[in-house]
Amino acid sequence: MDWTPRAYDLADRVTRPDSPWRAPIAATPRHAFVPRWWRYTADGWALQDGPADEEAWAAAAYSDRTLVTQVGSLHADHATPADRPTGRPTSSSTLPGLVVQMLEYAAITDGDTVLDVGTGSGYGTAVLCSRLGSGRVTSIDIDTYLTKAAGERLTEAGHQPYLVTGDATGPLPGVVDRIVAMVSVRPVPASWLEALPTGGRLATTLTNTSMILTATKTDDGGAVGRIERDWAMFMTTRTGADYPARDQAALERARTADGEVVTPARYPVLDLLETWEVRSMLEMMAPDIEHHHEVDGDTRTAIMLHADGSWARAVQVAGGQPIVHQGGPRRLWDLLDEVRAYWLQHGQLPLHGALARVSPDGTIRLRRGQWSASIT
């Protein structure tokens, strides 16, 4: 494949002309890190084999989009065309524009040492190596196959960073100037703060939110920073081969049961999988809500589930007033209404632009005007 012109074109689309990441993007053969991937279709996840269709491979690899490489525990490298995995994505090659965005938020300079959290396909690691040199880059992932395959592909591309297989929220090897995460966490792992010197910087997203946290290590062992006025969402860190299985029985109950409380909704049904800012604010109030959104003709249904047994279902037909069913110890839809009422009253939500103080144990305290919140 004549990939160089495509990589230059990609660099032109995802970086500014004066960006220090322009040359690394142009010099990195992304297709080599994603020879096979998964594409979501009407029939579920379908395997895409790059070498079998080189033009489609090049078009996908040098597009500014995420390519899912693993669903559940099944990596595309190990799949057959007949496979239709049904789990959640567990690894990917992040869209290059977002890779650049996070690297820029980490404020990496020439000569810095960097910990890349979430090796994935190895593409982002290669971009780091292209600018800094392999000796200044460490990358960590929980999945043995991911670090093995990425290591082989990085070597073929001329890079040999230090690759670690392990839990990125646990102890880390050595001290680095910058930590940049292509996965989300909540709270900030204490080990990250321990791995940074005073003045070192981290850039990450917070689990189940669109919030990008940047923070600089302070001499008390914590960090200060802010929630950037920007949006990004990543897979959350995991400790095993897959995320815990979803409770399908609980989902079916929420989809069909009569609620303990049944009321008309104050506002139209939202797709909280796409309404990132509202979902992020709700996450501050009730962490770890599972969201589902279903469309059947002119009927829209939103479902929320929580591990504590709380659930809500809102159904809206043809633009009419939705009806909400709620059950369990908390009224999840009422919390969502509080978020939407705040938005209407203030004209915005307070998350993006909030000041952040991170304690040495990783607890995040946010403040913007009269609003404050803690993330533990």
Encode 254-286: b = buried (16+ Cβ within 10 Å), e = exposed.
bbeeebeeeeebebebbebeebebbbbbbbbee
Cα separation, 117 vs 236, in Å, equals 11
Cα separation, 224 vs 235, in Å, equals 24
Nearest in space to 325 (alpha carbons), one of 269, 256, 270: 256
Active-site choice (19, 91, 210, 372) = 91
Cα separation, 194 vs 168, in Å, equals 13
End-to-end alpha-carbon separation of the chain, Å?
48
DSSP string, 57-97: HHHHHTSSS-EEEEETTEEGGG--TT----S-EEEEE--HH
Place of tokens 């078009």: 59
Which two three-digit tokens encode residue 44? 């579920």
Compute the residue count for the chain. 376
91 is catalytic: yes
Helix axis angle for 123-132 and 144-156, nearest 10°, is 40
Q: Enumerate residues 6+ apart whose C-beta is below 8 A from 356.
A: 213, 215, 224, 225, 226, 227, 364, 365, 366
**Residue 121, CA atoms < 13 Å, CB-side half-sphere:** 29
Cα separation, 268 vs 261, in Å, equals 18
Q: Which residues are catalytic?
A: 91
